[in-house]
Amino acid sequence: MSPSPIAKLPVEKITVFDAEGEMLRLADAIAEADRRYHQEDAPELTDAEYDALRRRYERLAERFPQMRPENGPETQVGFAPAEGFAKVRHARPMLSLSNAFDDDDVREFDKRVRRFLSLGAEDPLELVAEPKIDGLSASLRYERGKLVVGATRGDGTEGEDITRNLRTINDIPTKLPEGVPEILEIRGEVYMRKDDFLAMNARQADSGGKLFANPRNAAAGSLRQLDVEITRSRPLKFFAYSWGEISEDFADSQWGFLEQIERWGFTTNPLSKLCASVEQALAVYAQVGAERGDLPYDIDGVVYKVNRFDYQQRLGMVSRAPRWATAHKFKAEQAETTLEAIDIQVGRTGALTPVARLTPVKVGGVTVSNATLHNEDEIARKDIRVGDQVIIQRAGDVIPQVVRVVTEKRPADSVPFEMPIKCPRCESDALRPEGEAIRRCTGGLICPAQAVERLKHFVSRNAFDIEGFGTKQVEVFWEEGLVRSPGDIFRLSEHREKLLGEKGTKEKSTDNLLAAIEARRTIGLDRFIFALGIRQVGQATARLLAANYGTLDALRAALDTAHDPDSDATADLINIDQIGSSVAKDLIDFFHEDHNRAVLDDLSQELDIQAFEAPTTEGSPVAGKTVVFTGTLTTVGRNEAKAKAESLGAKVAGSVSKKTDYVVVGADAGSKAAKAEALGVTILSEDAWLDLIRDG
Ligand code: IVH
């Protein structure tokens, strides 16, 4: 096992020096977990472990937005499923850029370049200053003037083939005029305008679709869609700024290059400037930085590039970044405003989250009136009080953070904030367990806030995914008393008259909605379990439960029996690989609770919940068998062996019981092998196991 990427230190105590390394490790671990979950369907982490990684990353990213890695988790929206995009090897690698954080770093860059080229301080050295567009880069390959391949950056060496998606973007020509080189690779940034982003998010909210945190995520999520029609419907744009393979030279400088490709029909950024000196380039930075908030799209800095190509050639690159370019980052945009109130939101599991209501203020071109405050410790740490003047910061995201209080301007009569100890919605006690940061409402089922949030989860994308039934509809139907429990959704057709509206004008939208609901009456068991919103039960755990129990009836029966902690059913549940006792407890509690039982009975009446379909494992000698791996395996890692067994339809358990069919023992196997022997369970050596599955 690799060491845990989570450092022990609380986020508040981490220094900027340690943050970068840890964030990179976390980003890697999250990417790997995503890949295993989405592409291999073989998660290695429990949902809780995965969530812990993400939470830690997000908290660090909030504290140190400038340390967010280039391809961090927030840029990875909408991962490719197993049958996703084909891979493309870039003819020339797609490089990244070194960073400069202040003017002196940039002057240092200029000096470094001069030293390398043996130029004196007075020798001319032109730089091109270009806005650094906050989107995602793409490479377009033209052969004889026709767009043949378009790819994402990927890891710089290999990207994904998104040609069909890129063809839908108006700024990207699919055919170039006569006279272009036979092979021409143009690179640039796919992005979304801020106004288009806001309008799109508003449409998504109306239709119950996914909301994006910022224009860059929206662009990434829109571009990497297997359904090209979705990409086509999204307002994506493209600025060209660089090149890959080119069969014949047509420019001898970056500026000449930009001018030429503009003539060929590409869009280049109008704010780019040719500068005679580093001081001129810094003036462009100051100018662009001042206009930044008013620009129609997000930029996160200015890129300086040595203009002459012969110089670029000589400078070459170091560790995947050219020596002839650097990125001068902007500081996160900040603004000062008044904190008018602190509201408490109640989530699906009862978590109370404080939210700052602000006097609306423009930050980076977007008007903000809310900011997250995370939890009571965070508020205490920053001593944030109602009535304070606060500095807020938008680090690319729409929801900004409160950076600090301007204490000099604090009203004399201000009082420290106190977190309520009663739920603001249902008045039940709100308790904060020892050692946890979050206070929760104990009202459970009687709390309307939790009920509404649970319904939102129930209809969400990865759960019932009912088209046209989003958060807005949940709230409206709740208010009107039409949907108070999940089963009510499937009885909405009884209220068709009411839904048509007073003037009966909403016929089309009502019937579309009712049809969308009907379409979801049949649902897979794994989605169904996920939709219930049981604590700690995410998609991966839901799938695991569905695979192990097969039907809702079997799952309910097992969990009912498991209420007796000494039962075999309890042992079986905990024995499912990756389900620990804490998840087991949440499951047992959920299925034991009377109201939940009534909801399940009700839904069973309304729905056709389909038994879990195991991956086709016809002819597999281990399908349906329960296998335990123990000891050190020599040919493959433990996790790979588990994934293989599962793909052949076997269930992998963590400990040996009389239900175990095979125990596979590697080197230094301990008590499990002995227990298997005692129970008379078949013991296989690693080789015997490999022989067994090879016959399949
Ligand atoms: S040049 C060697 N120019 O920044 C060429 N990159 O940190 C490398 N970017 O992956 C890219 N605007 O996504 C270049 N005007 C610009 C850019 C730009 C945005 C992004 C691009 C790249 C990242 C590098």
Q: Which of 302, 319, 336 finishes a domain? A: 319
Asked whether 241 lines ligand 1 (CB < 6 A), one says yes
Asked whether 200 lines ligand 1 (CB < 6 A), one says no
d(CA 212, CA 446): 31
Ligand 1 atom closest to the CA of 130, numbered from 1: 15
pTM: 0.56
Q: What is the pLDDT of residues 557-606, one digit of tens each?
A: 999 999 998 998 888 888 887 788 888 998 999 999 898 999 999 999 99
CA angle 4–6–11, rounded 5-degree value: 170
Q: Which of 560, 577, 610 finishes a domain? A: 610
Given a cut of 80, whether residue 614 has pLDDT beyond it is no
Query: Which of 95, 134, 155, 189, when mutated, tests ligand 1's pocket best, judged by the most ligand atoms within 8 Å of its CB?
Result: 189
pLDDT category at 535 given cuts 50, 70, 90 is: confident
Task: Say if residue 167 is in the same domain as residue 226.
Answer: yes
Task: Say if residue 162 is in the same domain as residue 221.
Answer: yes
Task: Say if residue 593 is in the same domain as residue 644.
Answer: no
Range of the domain at 685: 626-695
DSSP 80-93: --TT-PPEEE-SS-
What's the mean pLDDT when you consider all of the chain? 87
Given a cut of 60, whether residue 77 has pLDDT beyond it is no
CATH of the domain at 236: 3.30.470.30
- SS3 string of 425-465? CCCCEEECCCCCCCCEECCHHHCHHHHHHHHHHHHCCCCCC
> Hey, whose CA ends up nearest to atom 17 of ligand 1?
132
Please tell me the predicted confidence (pLDDT) of residue 543.
86
Task: Say if residue 210 is in the same domain as residue 269.
Answer: yes
Task: Say if residue 595 is in the same domain as residue 630.
Answer: no
Q: What is the dihedral of CA 536, 541, 546, 552, to 10 degrees?
A: 0
Q: What is the pLDDT of residues 401-459, one digit of tens each?
A: 899 999 999 999 999 999 999 999 999 999 998 888 889 998 887 899 999 999 999 99
With respect to residue 600, please indicate whether it lies within any of the assigned structural domains.
Answer: yes
Report the separation in Å between the CA atom of 142 and the middle of ligand 1, taken as the mean of its atom positions. 20
Lowest average pLDDT, out of 61-75, 307-321, 353-367, goes to 61-75
With respect to residue 361, please indicate whether it lies within any of the assigned structural domains.
Answer: no
Task: Say if residue 194 is in the same domain as residue 254.
Answer: yes
With respect to residue 639, please indicate whether it lies within any of the assigned structural domains.
Answer: yes
d(CA 514, CA 404): 48
Asked whether 244 lines ligand 1 (CB < 6 A), one says no
CA distances to 355, 356, 358, 368, 419 from 345, rounded to whole Å, are: 7, 11, 15, 18, 12
CATH of the domain at 676: 3.40.50.10190
Query: Which of 71, 97, 140, 157, when mutated, tests ligand 1's pocket best, judged by the most ligand atoms within 8 Å of its CB?
Result: 97
Task: Say if residue 143 is in the same domain as residue 220.
Answer: yes
Q: Please give the average per-residue pLDDT across 334-355, as a whole number.
A: 92
d(CA 552, CA 395): 44
Q: Which of 257, 290, 319 finishes a domain? A: 319
Residue written as token pair 């008013």: 294
Asked whether 600 lines ligand 1 (CB < 6 A), one says no
Query: Which of 92, 192, 241, when mutated, tests ligand 1's pocket best, judged by the most ligand atoms within 8 Å of its CB?
Result: 241
The residues that are catalytic are 132
With respect to residue 468, please indicate whether it lies within any of the assigned structural domains.
Answer: no
Q: What is the pLDDT of residues 1-41, one digit of tens each?
A: 344 666 667 888 877 777 777 888 888 888 777 766 555 54
Please tell me the predicted confidence (pLDDT) of residue 85.
85
Count up the domains in the chain and report the number.
Answer: 3
Q: What angle separates helix 568-575 from helix 552-561, to the nearest 10 degrees?
A: 120
Asked whether 322 lines ligand 1 (CB < 6 A), one says yes
Please tell me the predicted confidence (pLDDT) of residue 170.
94
Task: Say if residue 308 is in the same domain as residue 178.
Answer: yes
Given a cut of 90, whether residue 273 has pLDDT beyond it is yes
Ligand 1 atom closest to the CA of 272, numbered from 1: 15
Identity of the amino acid at 663: V
Report the separation in Å between the CA atom of 122 and the middle of ligand 1, taken as the mean of its atom positions. 29
CA distances to 23, 28, 687 from 73, rounded to whole Å, are: 10, 9, 39
Asked whether 160 lines ligand 1 (CB < 6 A), one says no
Please tell me the predicted confidence (pLDDT) of residue 48.
65
With respect to residue 142, please indicate whether it lies within any of the assigned structural domains.
Answer: yes
CATH of the domain at 596: 1.10.150.20
Q: What is the pLDDT of residues 275-330, one digit of tens each?
A: 999 999 999 999 999 998 889 999 999 999 999 999 999 999 887 889 999 999 98
Asked whether 272 lines ligand 1 (CB < 6 A), one says no
Please tell me the predicted confidence (pLDDT) of residue 81.
34
Q: What is the pLDDT of residues 200-233, one digit of tens each?
A: 988 877 776 677 878 888 899 899 888 888 899 9
Task: Say if residue 595 is in the same domain as residue 652.
Answer: no
Identity of the amino acid at 627: V
Query: Which of 90, 94, 137, 187, when mutated, tests ligand 1's pocket best, judged by the most ligand atoms within 8 Å of its CB?
Result: 137
With respect to residue 207, please indicate whether it lies within any of the assigned structural domains.
Answer: yes
Task: Say if residue 598 is in the same domain as residue 643.
Answer: no
At 350, list the tokens. 């009862």
With respect to residue 226, please indicate whether it lies within any of the assigned structural domains.
Answer: yes
Burial of residue 117, with CB atoms counted within 10 A of its CB: 0-12 exposed, 13-18 middle, 19 or more buried: middle
d(CA 65, CA 218): 19
Ligand 1 atom closest to the CA of 153, numbered from 1: 10
More confident residue, 263 or 468: 263
Lowest average pLDDT, out of 96-105, 355-364, 618-627, goes to 618-627
Report the separation in Å between the CA atom of 348 and the middle of ligand 1, taken as the mean of its atom positions. 40
Asked whether 317 lines ligand 1 (CB < 6 A), one says no
For β-strands 389-394 and 333-346, DSSP reports them as antiparallel
Q: What is the pLDDT of residues 407-419, one digit of tens each?
A: 999 999 999 999 9
Task: Say if residue 552 is in the same domain as residue 680.
Answer: no
Report the separation in Å between the CA atom of 97 and the middle of ligand 1, taken as the mean of its atom positions. 7
Q: Please give the average per-residue pLDDT across 82-87, as a whole number.
A: 68
Q: What is the pLDDT of residues 109-158, one digit of tens each?
A: 999 999 999 999 999 999 999 999 999 999 999 999 999 999 999 888 88
Task: Say if residue 596 is in the same domain as residue 643.
Answer: no
- E strands, 218-365, in order: 236-246, 273-275, 299-306, 317-318, 321-322, 325-329, 333-346, 352-363
With respect to residue 169, please indicate whether it lies within any of the assigned structural domains.
Answer: yes
pLDDT category at 74 given cuts 50, 70, 90 is: low
Asked whether 128 lines ligand 1 (CB < 6 A), one says no
Asked whether 242 lines ligand 1 (CB < 6 A), one says yes
